[in-house]
Amino acid sequence: MTEQELRKRLEALKIEHRDLDAAIEALSEAGRQTGFVDQLQQQRLKKRKLKLKDQIAAIEDYLLPDIIA
């Protein structure tokens, strides 16, 4: 992948990560209102969010290598 493609992929991952954050919050809020929290769905969303975070970190590390001067 080119650097430009990696940057586009990084932005898409960040957007998906934010969307998952909002979905998890909405699910939690709905659970507080109804008294029922779909823990399995919430767990799946959190797991996906963690995978995205790892992918984001990997791309950022590749694009911005840690240079020790």
pLDDT 10s digits, 29-69:
998 888 888 899 999 999 999 999 999 999 999 998 777 65
52 located within any domain: yes
Helix, strand, coil in percent for the chain, rounding step 5:
85, 0, 15
Give the pLDDT score at 46. 97
Range of the domain at 16: 3-63
Query: What is the Cα–Cα distance from 67 to 55, expressed in whole angstroms?
Result: 20
pLDDT recorded at residue 8:
97
The pLDDT assigned to 68 comes to 67
- In a domain, residue 68? The reply is no
Q: List CB contacts of 34: < 8 A, sequence separation 6 or more.
A: none
Predicted local distance difference test score (pLDDT) of residue 36:
87
Domain count, the chain: 1
Residue 69 lies in a domain: no
**Counting beta carbons within 10 angstroms of the beta carbon of residue 21, is it exposed (0 to 12), middle (13 to 18) or buried (19 or more)?**
middle
